[in-house]
Amino acid sequence: MRGFVRNRSGSVWIEVEGEGRSLDHFLHAIERHPPPLAQIDRLSWNVLPACGDRQFHIEVSEADAGPIFIGPDVATCDACLGELFDPSNRRYRYPFLNCTHCGPRLTIICGAPYDRPRTTMAGFALCPACQAEYDDPRDRRFHAQPTACAACGPSLELRDSAGAAIAAADPLAVFAKALGEGKIGALKGLGGFHLACLADDSGAVAELRKRKHRDEKPFAIMVRDLAAAERLCVVDGDEKSLLQSRRRPIVLLRRRASAAIAEGVAPGNPYLGVMLPYTPLHHLLFEACPRPLVMTSGNRSDEPIAFENEDALQRLGGIADLFLLHNRPIHVRCDDSVTRQLDGAELPLRRSRGYAPQPIALPFECPRPILAVGGQLKATFALGRGRHALVSHHLGDLDQYEAYRAFERDVTLYEKLFQTEPAVVAHDLHPDYASTRYAERRVAEHGDVILRGMRIARLPVQHHHAHMASAMVEHGLMDPVIGVVFDGAGFGSDGAIWGGEFLTGDCRNFTRAAHLRYVGQPGGDQAAREPWRMALAHARAAGAAVPTLEARIDPAAWRVVAQIVDRRLRTPPTSSMGRLFDAVAALAGVRDRVTYEGQAAIELEWLAEGVPPDEEYPFEILQEGSSDALQIDARPLIAAVVKDAGASVTAARIARRFHDAIAKMIVAVCERIRNQMGLHQVVLSGGVFHNVLLTRETKAGLETAGFRVYRHRLVPPGDGGLSLGQLAVAAAGLS
Ligand code: ZN
Ligand code: ZN
Ligand code: FE
């Protein structure tokens, strides 16, 4: 085939000439066997007169070539892995080899369009051998922007805990040996630093927890290969492909009883978060130290992950005994993604490295470019343009100053990379989210700027409407649905804390059809850290005495909380399902305080999983007051839980009956809504639907009742998916 290819207005334009049969073959091959990283949204063609091209070449992109998509970072490909361990290859054991099919992308990009001078590889001039490959269309490294070799590319460096350089001929070997002896190491990866230690050495793991100030939140581990993962966990076919996919996420897998892993890695947890090596450096590390390694984000407790050498040395100096650094700067901090497999499809928990900024197809056109700034915790933002949404990497909790700074900087970077000037900024209704304040400031500063004849507009979106819309977009749903949206907290249209919501509507509008009946949330946010507070509030609402719980709590604290509940002081009304899980966890004696977000609900799920269903607790569905919304009354359920707990029913049994009660209640409420409105499609969203048992039971119950049920597969059900939903609401409002 002869002709050329170039970027043109956000698409790839190819002109080829040749015999008719080979042209057919060419089209077929492009469609069926695209290059490994290609994602073809649409393919169209037409016939042009032949112009007698003599060869095939790549033309330089036009300056106004339009928006160009930038790919996520990609795990080392098989061809590169072959070279890495081939003594005759010139890149033998070179920790930074990559090619057109693999290597860093988003994390090294500083500007658009994507070519080497606008990446953090700019400082590394290609040696003649690398340049020849880069220029050769037949080479795997043709136009591979981050390509490098030992002669011209980045290199490793070893430092001690005080940041002083340690001379070593082979820094990696010294680092691996130290890990093997039980030391804690910090190593620079693709999107940030990891803290690493032997996962099967309980002393090392305990020391890491102590130094990192991390109580019980599980650590992720990295193992050498699939066989090593299978020795520790039960891995089914879908999970195997997920583990080995080029995205290389952390996959939650059911651990084997025999798994040789220190208990401190994931205390009490029936699952392990496992990932496989995804950079050449990781592969070399496991060659030298083949045992499973804890690979947790390089930070202290909940701070954002460190990604710059000097910052890492300073912040992790008190944690790591040894640093393995390199001199390829990371421009975009990007955490590991976390996901799991559920009944044949992914259920994403954190969408970041390897996934972002892969475009998500929209079922409609964005009439004008949109920026959706997301929520506050587990934050992401999204840019919408045409029929695509670009959902950012995970930015962490925006109440952390560092995370907020990264948010601001990365919004600007994405706008530059994807050449998008938003005309609308969508944000949460919550007035105190840092993202809301950003949206307000931005529109206030630029609101008077007339952008192509239009002012920048600001659009507040209710939290649970955004959750519902995010699930709708994933499945291309345009017609009205029932949205079952359960989470911990979101600002309601009436100023209350919502979180146990049945909404009806589409991306444009919603109605609150039903919700958990309000109870007071004593002390506001503090109740999320101390489930016993919600247990007290719910028990008092239900008129149930809870002497066993009271006996476990400091009497003075108990008295104060009982008082503020009774007098409704500092107890904002809430319909939160997350807080109901907390209350039941405390009433069942599972947990009175949490050390990380959602811990009580997660533990309740683990307990329930181990027990077969028998009966379930009662709910009452009320229609009362002036409100049209159905009220779901949890008082009968709370009374039954208290009774069971008093009668020494096991916590696991209580947890199971509770899960089954929620699933049954969802079906009952959806049936009432269907009777009134004729809706039969249900989307499940909100952080509570990270709960696999509840998702499964609910889906099965609804399907038996004749509903079509949709759950998340592309973005997390929790607040990591909010930005996509806000974007959808804004786009629907504009069109
Ligand atoms: Zn490769
Ligand atoms: Zn080179
Ligand atoms: Fe939420």
Question: Could you tell me how far CA 61 lies from the centroid of its own chain?
Answer: 33
Taking residues 506-511, what's their average pLDDT? 97
3-state secondary structure of 55: coil
Instruction: Yes or no: say if 478 and 506 are a contact pair by the CB < 8 Å rule.
Output: yes
As a whole number of angstroms, the distance between CA 580 and CA 501 comes to 13
Share of the chain above pLDDT 70, in %: 97
Taking residues 361-378, what's their average pLDDT? 94
Cα-to-centroid distance, 285 and ligand 2 (Å): 22
Quick: pLDDT tens for 4-51: 988 776 678 899 999 889 999 999 999 999 888 888 888 999 999 988
As a dihedral over the C-alpha atoms of residue 715, residue 720, residue 724, residue 726, rounded to 10 degrees, the angle is 150
Quick: pLDDT tens for 222-248: 999 999 999 999 999 999 999 999 999
* Ligand with minimal distance to 690 CA: 3
Q: Give the pLDDT band (50/70/90) at residue 111.
A: confident
**Which H or E run contains 732?**
helix 722-734
Cα-to-centroid distance, 100 and ligand 3 (Å): 38
**DSSP code of 58?**
E
Cα-to-centroid distance, 95 and ligand 1 (Å): 12
pLDDT at 453 over 60: no
More confident residue, 633 or 299: 633
Of 469, 505, 499, 470, the closest CA to residue 485 belongs to 499
As a dihedral over the C-alpha atoms of residue 160, residue 162, residue 164, residue 165, rounded to 10 degrees, the angle is 20
Least confident interval from 27-31, 64-68, 674-678, 714-718: 64-68
Cα-to-centroid distance, 84 and ligand 2 (Å): 14
Q: Is 408 exposed, middle or buried (0-12, 13-18, 19+ CB in 10 A)?
A: middle
Q: Which residues surround ligand 1, an ion (CB under 5 A)?
A: 77, 80, 99, 101-102
382 to 17, 425, 436, 458, 563: CA distances (angstroms): 40, 10, 14, 15, 43
pLDDT value, residue 234 = 98
pLDDT value, residue 350 = 98
Long-range contacts of 198-204 (CB under 8 A, 24+ apart): 198/291, 198/292, 198/293, 198/294, 199/261, 199/262, 199/265, 199/291, 199/292, 199/293, 199/294, 200/260, 200/261, 200/262, 200/291, 200/292, 201/262, 202/262, 202/263, 202/264, 204/262, 204/294
Instruction: Yes or no: say if 334 and 356 are a contact pair by the CB < 8 Å rule.
Output: yes
Could you write out the DSSP letters of every residue in 671-706?
Answer: HHHHHHH---EEEEESGGGG-HHHHHHHHHHHHHTT
Question: Could you tell me how far CA 446 lies from the centroid of its own chain?
Answer: 31
Taking residues 207-221, what's their average pLDDT? 94
Taking residues 619-624, what's their average pLDDT? 90
Cα-to-centroid distance, 126 and ligand 2 (Å): 5
Taking residues 194-202, what's their average pLDDT? 98
* Ligand with minimal distance to 722 CA: 3
Angle between helices 531-542 and 555-567 (to 10 degrees): 50
Cα-to-centroid distance, 248 and ligand 1 (Å): 14
Q: Which amino acid is at 599?
A: Q
Question: What's 99-111 look like in SS3?
Answer: ECCEECCHHHECC
CA angle 680, 348, 67 (to 5 degrees): 95
DSSP-derived pairing of the beta strands 233-234 and 250-255? antiparallel
Q: Length of the chain in residues, anyone?
A: 735
pLDDT value, residue 7 = 76
Q: Is 434 exposed, middle or buried (0-12, 13-18, 19+ CB in 10 A)?
A: buried
pLDDT value, residue 445 = 77
Quick: pLDDT tens for 165-184: 999 999 999 999 999 999 99
As a whole number of angstroms, the distance between CA 260 and CA 263 comes to 9
Cα-to-centroid distance, 688 and ligand 3 (Å): 9
Strands (E), 381-431: 382-391, 424-428
pLDDT at 446 over 70: no
Question: Could you tell me how far CA 214 lies from the centroid of its own chain?
Answer: 20
pLDDT at 449 over 60: no
Average pLDDT, the chain: 94
245 to 193, 240, 293: CA distances (angstroms): 22, 8, 20
Cα-to-centroid distance, 488 and ligand 3 (Å): 6
Quick: pLDDT tens for 411-439: 999 998 888 889 999 999 999 999 999 99
* Ligand with minimal distance to 470 CA: 3
Taking residues 79-102, what's their average pLDDT? 98
pLDDT value, residue 70 = 84
User: In angstroms, what is the C-alpha Rg of the chain?
Assistant: 27
251 to 106, 233, 243, 247, 727: CA distances (angstroms): 21, 11, 6, 11, 28
Number of H helices, E strands in the chain: 22, 30
DSSP-derived pairing of the beta strands 185-188 and 322-326? parallel
Cα-to-centroid distance, 112 and ligand 1 (Å): 23
3-state secondary structure of 360: strand
Q: Please list, residue by residue across 299-322, b when 16 or more beta carbons sit within 10 angstroms of its beta carbon and e when fewer do.
A: beebbbbbbbbeebbebbeebbbb
More confident residue, 647 or 67: 647
Q: Give the pLDDT band (50/70/90) at residue 67.
A: low
pLDDT value, residue 710 = 98
